[in-house]
Amino acid sequence: MAEADDKRFKNDLLEEASLSRCGKCMSMTAQVLFKLFGILTFQGRAGYLLPAIVNLILLWAGTWHLVRHDGDWDMHRRKLWSAFNGALMCLGMFLALCCLRRVQIQKLVAPECCPLRLYSHWISTIPSDLLAASVFLTMQFSLTSWYLSQAKGQCENYDGWSLQLSHVVAAAVFGVLMFLKLHILSCLDLMIDDFSLQYAELGDAEQGILQWSLIQATLNQASNRLEGSFLISFTAIVSGFATLSADLIGSTEMLDHGEHCSGEASWLLQPLLMIISKGLLLTYVLLRAAGISHKCERTKHFINSLLTPPSEDSCYLDTGRSYLVRYIDDSAAGFCIQGGRITFFAVMKLFYGMCALTFAIVTQAYSS
């Protein structure tokens, strides 16, 4: 009898997790996208060859512009530092991909990382996760097209095809990496919602403690595997803002009618808007991560608000539930980077700092 119930339970989970034709298509699309960019590996020789090709493209796009300009550095002392933004971002994405493969990121994207009953819901989040990355890529490619059609010739340092190609390659890899993070964060968000739903239905505090321990372990695993990529992406974006600031503060006469620039400043829109769009996408992903930390904080309040009517042998004071609330509170679960929990307050401070820096750069550009 027990075996029959267990078999029926497994069949129910399989039916619940079965994907529709659209779900299968979205799942396959995400897997192919991750494999094409070397995040996941194909079976056989392609599993080793494709990541190597992606890394070589990033290294070539990142180093070619640096090496090509190194020869002219003695001849033309004054160079625009922001011209190397695309190369720096390519090198950053190369390091981020290496970091993800080193920590075996495939263990977070595989179906086993999500409970079977939630897998179909997890796959259904792909369109919303992909939307942010698609808007970002559309903006990046539009900026490159605008520069080549409208602003080309205003600054010689930005007219090289290798520089524009490095921007495109870096933007493509950055967008896919952010989509990967959003997809993993969606899975973590679903797991916390499922925990609250199951406790509301069953009210089993002992089972709730076991489930919360698994959720906390999964959150720690995801944080440890993604924190390196987050830090590298953030460093690359800060470097982009730093190079733009250095150009506007230290090269004002070159940005005027100098040897390499025509005196018009509309070409500055491309590097500025490109680095701002990367910063906005990273801020959005960090807000999603902060939402997970906030949801962990709210879970204990939700559980504490559930009151069961007293029976003859019990009262409103549920010691099991009180212990579960205390256990969740003491766990301090959430999405962490370098041991610190990501919160909305921290992300908003980062966002306001980026806005202040952008305002300073734009003001300096107009005054120059």
Asked if residue 7 belongs to a domain, the reply is: no
> CA triplet 246, 86, 238: central angle to 5 degrees?
50
Burial 20-41, CB ≥16 within 10 A → b, else e: eeebeebbeebeebbbebbbbb
What are residue 340's DSSP bridge partners? 337
Asked if residue 37 belongs to a domain, the reply is: yes
Asked if residue 311 belongs to a domain, the reply is: no
Candidates 175, 167, 173, 143; CA nearest to 61 is 167
Range scoring the smallest mean pLDDT among 94-98, 103-107, 141-145, 363-367: 363-367
What is the total count of domains within the chain? 1
- Please provide the size of the chain in residues: 368
Write the pLDDT tens digit of every residue in 66-95: 666 544 444 444 467 777 888 889 899 999
pLDDT band of residue 211 (cuts 50, 70, 90) is very high
pTM for this model (two decimals):
0.85
Mean pLDDT of 97-104: 89
Q: What is the pLDDT of residue 358?
A: 85
Write the pLDDT tens digit of every residue in 145-160: 877 776 565 566 566 6
Q: Does 48 score more than 90 pLDDT? A: no
pLDDT band of residue 310 (cuts 50, 70, 90) is low
Q: Does 335 score more than 60 pLDDT? A: yes
CA distances from 235 to 53, 70, 104, 106, 249 (A): 24, 23, 22, 24, 21
Tokens of 246: 């250095």
Asked if residue 2 belongs to a domain, the reply is: no
Which residues span the domain enclosing 262? 18-306+317-367
Give me the phi and psi of 37, to 5 degrees please: -95, 10
Asked if residue 5 belongs to a domain, the reply is: no
Asked if residue 207 belongs to a domain, the reply is: yes
Asked if residue 6 belongs to a domain, the reply is: no
Asked if residue 165 belongs to a domain, the reply is: yes
